[in-house]
Amino acid sequence: MNNKKVIPIFFAVDDYYIPFLAVGLQSLVEHSSEEYEYLIKILNTNVSEENKKRIKKYEKENINIEFVDLNYYIKKVKDKLYTRDYYTKTTYFRLFLPELYPQYDKVLYLDSDIIILEDIANLYNIDIGDNLVGAIPDDIIQNGKELQEYVEKVVGVATYKKYFNAGIIVMNLDELRKFKFQEKFLHLLETIKFPVAQDQDYLNRICKGRVKYIDNSWDVMPAPGRNKKDEELRLIHYNLTYKPWRRDDVPYKEFFWKYANKTDFFEEIQKMKESYTEAERFKDMETEKDLINLAIQESECVGDDRVDKKSLISENNIEKSKDRLEILEKIEKLELEGKFDVDAENDPPTIILTPDKVDYLKEKTTSKLKTKVANAVAQNFANELLKKKKLIIKEVRGIENLEGVKTGGIITCNHFNPFDSFTVEMVFNRTEVGKKKKLYKIIREGNYTNFPGFYGFLFRNCNTLPLSSNTKTMEKLLKAIKKILENKDFILIYPEQSMWWNYKKPKPLKDGAFKFAVKNDVPIIPIFITMEESKIIGEDGFPVMEYFVNIEKPIYKNKELTDRENINQMRDKNFAIWKEIYEEFYDIPLKYTTLTGK
């Protein structure tokens, strides 16, 4: 055994990732060769003794597994190690290998979310010369324009085609020590923060020009749209959010489950997948979008002292909009007078909407075409708002409450910004319900009949349901609402009846939304959006607000009550829910300045 060539292999995990490490080890062991001795070292800071024992079962005569506790070492630099989202500080462990293991000149580092389909010794045996690392171009970067710009402008690689993934690397420890890699890495930690890919960005920055590029069959990532033939696969890397234990739409998932089924962790992993909620899946999607937006923001900062003058502007440099200041004064006055249902904005005068001027259900061919175009335009517009940080959805809570509604329903929401409807719609569209059903929006009569320009086009065509002061038109609207709800679609209504810009309190509610719910026997789904100031200053001189979307449990009517009693109890319960969210989030009791005592 002592005459066999040694293959040193390093992993870095925490307790959560132990089951997936087991799956990767299962595939490694099955493809190992008696010709080699595999020394597997698992770097960690918090793996339980029970899990260590379960992993040690993979040892064989020529496969040795050792858990290496790095608590003592990581304490030296832990305050410098930046992490975000699902990353942990274990991701940095690979960067300390040259100094931690002076006895090795060359090692393999592997992420634990992998499946190995060929003897891993074949990867180790690739001659990387005097290069610092042998690595594979990152498949995610090769297919994403925004990330390509980021790695070239911010990280500093010559071309995105040479930006490599750090999850599968052959490390030339001898050359890394000569190069004083760790000293340079710790220096960069003090001077530059790479928030997008963190340790991977540092590796690419420091090692550029001294990388041996390896065939991408050794680091195949299963993002949608990428497919290799089975015979072309050597190693599958379930990177980012493309995890078979979370999602069904992951290419090459059959390889993961094949090896998972052979481990002691199979049932445990199955339960993880079964218990993975729609809210968590939504968060995964948001994480991907946040990654892209962060890369864009970082790219825009380059060349201007890392400050994006379009958005990260000192509050003192922009004079606050006089129009906004006047609106805030008007809101204060309206609250004082108890006129909660009066709009604070200076909207155009209302033109009466007659029945012949509206096609609520888009039954005409021209209406269908306009709606299709308008919805596409609105989606692009909303994406731009997110990209430019003019709209920031910080967190979505309780998405499972919306997912559980199978009958269609009335969604209520507080109204404090022209873009809050985009917020609700974007959240709705990213749910499983939203992929199958439509969301209609009740809007003011004047916004439909007389709002000018781009926003007027959206008001008239984006699945909107305008109210009307014309009796015949209202009859037509009620019939449309009935049909929409019978089709199990959803309708967004602002029961406060007015928009007060950046007003945080819930206002007294009108009956309309609750009448529709009672009459059509559908639930109310209360949404209350809370907000905090971001560090970004908008064009009006005020901080852009970060939104926290709170989706609460549906409110159903009580069959034993009359319609009027149901309207009252659903309205009052909706308000009580909003009030509770307000008081808990802002940690203050709900009080109004109104002199009327409301």
Q: 237 and 343: one domain? A: no
Whether pLDDT at 279 is above 90? no
Q: Which of 295, 324, 358 is the last residue of a domain?
A: 295
pLDDT of residue 503: 96
Mean pLDDT over the full length of the chain:
87
Whether pLDDT at 591 is above 90? yes
pLDDT of residue 224: 59
Q: Which of 242, 261, 295 is the last residue of a domain?
A: 295
Whether pLDDT at 24 is above 50? yes
Q: Tell me the C-alpha distance between 173 and 175, whole Å.
A: 6
Q: Tell me the C-alpha distance between 8 and 284, whole Å.
A: 34
Identify the residue with better confidence: 316 or 525.
525
Whether pLDDT at 308 is above 80? no
Split at pLDDT 50, 70, 90, the class of 277 is: confident
Residue 464 half-sphere exposure toward CB, CA atoms < 13 A: 26
Q: Tell me the C-alpha distance between 397 and 528, whole Å.
A: 10
Whether pLDDT at 43 is above 80? yes
Q: 275 and 346: one domain? A: no
| Percent of the chain residues past pLDDT 70, beyond the cut | 90
316 within some domain: yes
Q: 192 and 341: one domain? A: no
Q: 243 and 384: one domain? A: no
Contact 513, 578 (CB under 8 A): no
| Residue 492: domain span | 312-586
598 within some domain: no
141 within some domain: yes
Tracing tokens 């199955």 back to the chain, one arrives at: 270
Type of residue at 190: E
pLDDT of residue 9: 97
Split at pLDDT 50, 70, 90, the class of 195 is: low
Q: Which of 295, 322, 338 is the last residue of a domain?
A: 295
What is the per-residue pLDDT across 329-349, written as a single tens digit (0 to 9) for each? 999 999 999 999 998 887 667
Whether pLDDT at 290 is above 80? no
Q: 73 and 221: one domain? A: yes
pLDDT of residue 321: 78
Whether pLDDT at 484 is above 60? yes
Contact residues for 560 (Cβ-Cβ < 8 A; gap 6+): none
594 within some domain: no
Q: 393 and 245: one domain? A: no
54: CATH: 3.90.550.10
Whether pLDDT at 199 is above 80? no
Q: How many domains does the chain have?
A: 2
448: CATH: 3.40.1130
Split at pLDDT 50, 70, 90, the class of 356 is: very high
pLDDT of residue 30: 97
What is the per-residue pLDDT across 152-181, written as a single tens digit (0 to 9) for each? 888 888 888 899 999 999 999 999 999 998
Contact 393, 349 (CB under 8 A): no
Q: H or E element: which one contains 529? A: strand 524-537
Between 85-89, 391-395, 412-416, the lowest mean confidence (pLDDT) is in: 85-89
Whether pLDDT at 311 is above 50? no
Q: 290 and 322: one domain? A: no
pLDDT of residue 318: 58
The first and second tokens of residue 383, run together, are 């994406």
The first and second tokens of residue 409, run together, are 């329903």
pLDDT of residue 133: 96
Q: 234 and 364: one domain? A: no
pLDDT of residue 88: 44
383 within some domain: yes
pLDDT of residue 598: 43
302 within some domain: no
Q: 277 and 370: one domain? A: no
The full DSSP string for 170-235 is: EEEHHHHHHTTHHHHHHHHHHH---TTTTHHHHHHHHHTTSEEE--GGGSB---TT----GGG-SE
Q: 316 and 359: one domain? A: yes
What is the per-residue pLDDT across 45-92, written as a single tens digit (0 to 9) for each? 889 999 999 999 999 999 999 999 887 666 655 544 443 333 344 556
Give the residue among 20, 73, 12 at the shortest CA–CA distance from 40.
Answer: 12
pLDDT of residue 226: 61
Identify the residue with better confidence: 517 or 139.
517
Split at pLDDT 50, 70, 90, the class of 121 is: very high
Considering just the CA atoms, what is the radius of gyration of the chain in Å?
Answer: 29
303 within some domain: no
E runs forming strands in 186-234: 211-213
Contact residues for 355 (Cβ-Cβ < 8 A; gap 6+): 470, 472, 473, 476
Whether pLDDT at 40 is above 70? yes
Identify the residue with better confidence: 211 or 302.
211
Split at pLDDT 50, 70, 90, the class of 454 is: confident
Whether pLDDT at 571 is above 60? yes
Number of H helices, E strands in the chain: 23, 16
pLDDT of residue 92: 63
Q: Tell me the C-alpha distance between 414 and 499, whole Å.
A: 8
Whether pLDDT at 135 is above 90? yes
Q: 327 and 443: one domain? A: yes
pLDDT of residue 310: 42
Contact residues for 566 (Cβ-Cβ < 8 A; gap 6+): 514, 518, 557, 558
What is the per-residue pLDDT across 249-262, written as a single tens digit (0 to 9) for each? 788 999 999 999 99
What is the per-residue pLDDT across 239-248, written as a single tens digit (0 to 9) for each? 888 899 988 8
304 within some domain: no
Q: 70 and 11: one domain? A: yes
The full DSSP string for 111-154 is: -SSEEE-S-THHHHTS--TT-SEEEEE-HHHHT-HHHHHHIIII
